[in-house]
């Protein structure tokens, strides 16, 4: 097998892995429908918040953590073309945070939360019993007695308007 053929197979494999890890049940969004902001997550043990708004959709991340120094995180809001499906993502680039979170909460207004993805160090999914979704209050937060203090990526999915049966 030639080097170019090996490279082609490698590129195809990487593309297939990308497709396999993309959530098929979530609507596609164009790049123009994504707002990305970098922000610092700061240790110190006191409660802090960061929020962003796109139109009448708002996403607010509230947390308290301990550890070394501040870390740069990414906050992203995306939506489909008709603005019926939204997502809000808070994550540490690279999938690893060295901070220990005492608590966290992600609140949404302007759409109804219907799903969450939560990951700890090295993109390891949090156990389902480490966090809870409250659809009435439109938020996701840690379960104080179960959360293991590791958070590196939190993403909430929301919808607005009529839902098809």
Range in 1-15, 50-64, 77-91 with the lowest mean pLDDT: 1-15
pLDDT for residue 117:
98
pLDDT for residue 162:
62
pTM exceeds cut of 0.85? no
Residue 17 has pLDDT above 50, yes or no: no
Domain extents in the chain: 29-159
With beta carbons less than 8 A apart as the criterion, state whether 33 and 164 touch: no
CA distance 90 to 15: 24
pLDDT digits 0-9 by tens, 138-149: 999 999 999 999
pLDDT for residue 91:
98
Residue of higher predicted confidence among 158 and 19: 158
Cα torsion at 151, 128, 117, 101 (round to 10°)? -20
Parallel/antiparallel/unpaired status of strands 131-134 and 112-119 = unpaired
pLDDT for residue 13:
36
Q: Which residues contact 136 (CB under 8 A, 6 or more apart)?
A: none
Q: Which residues contact 123 (CB under 8 A, 6 or more apart)?
A: 95, 152, 153
* Mean of pLDDT over the chain: 84
Residue of higher predicted confidence among 23 and 82: 82
């Amino acid at each position: 097998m030639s080097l170019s053929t090996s490279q082609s197979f490698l590129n195809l494999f990487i593309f297939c892995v990308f497709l396999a890890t993309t959530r098929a049940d979530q609507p596609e969004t164009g790049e123009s429908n994504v707002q990305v902001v970098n922000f610092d997550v700061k240790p110190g043990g006191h409660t802090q918040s960061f929020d962003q708004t796109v139109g009448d959709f708002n996403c607010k991340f509230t947390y308290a953590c301990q550890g070394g120094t501040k870390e740069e995180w990414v906050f992203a809001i995306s939506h489909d073309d008709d603005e019926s499906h939204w997502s809000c993502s808070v994550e540490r680039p690279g999938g690893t945070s060295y901070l220990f979170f005492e608590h966290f909460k992600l609140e949404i207004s302007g759409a109804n939360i219907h799903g969450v993805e939560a990951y700890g160090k090295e993109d390891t999914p949090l156990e389902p019993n480490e966090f809870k979704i409250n659809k009435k209050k439109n938020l996701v937060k840690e379960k104080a007695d179960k959360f293991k203090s590791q958070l590196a990526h939190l993403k909430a999915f929301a919808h607005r308007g009529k839902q098809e049966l």
